[in-house]
């Protein structure tokens, strides 16, 4: 079986079920357990995420990208 996880919580569930060896891809946010960081990242973000970024700034960045298509 080959599993790609697009949610950090789903990645944790995959490992909890003992299926970590079947996990072949994760998102940039999947970091638990530590072994998840060794998997290929298949989904990333286009946003400039900085620590403490305000919700309004995230909304602005998303709106710009949506408008640009």
Q: Going residue by residue through the chain, which has 69 residues, state the pLDDT in tens, using 9 for 90 and above.
A: 999 999 999 999 999 999 999 999 999 999 999 999 999 999 988 787 777 788 898 899 899 999 998
Provide the sign of the torsion angle of the four alpha carbons 48, 32, 14, 10, taken in this order. Answer: negative
pLDDT confidence of residue 14: 98
List domains and CATH numbers for the chain. 3-68 (3.40.50.1980)
pLDDT confidence of residue 38: 97
Provide the sign of the torsion angle of the four alpha carbons 11, 14, 18, 23, taken in this order. Answer: negative
Provide the sign of the torsion angle of the four alpha carbons 46, 48, 50, 55, taken in this order. Answer: negative
**Predicted TM-score of the model (pTM):** 0.73
Contacts of 37 (CB under 8 A, 6+ apart): 30, 31
d(Cα 64, Cα 8) in Å, to the nearest integer? 26
pLDDT confidence of residue 47: 80
């Amino acid at each position: 079986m080959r599993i790609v996880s697009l949610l950090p919580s789903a990645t944790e569930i995959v490992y909890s079920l003992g299926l970590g060896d079947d996990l072949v891809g994760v998102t940039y946010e999947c970091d638990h357990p530590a072994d998840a960081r060794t998997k290929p990242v298949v989904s990333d973000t286009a946003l400039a995420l900085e620590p403490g970024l305000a919700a309004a700034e995230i909304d602005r960045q998303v709106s710009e990208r949506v408008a640009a298509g």
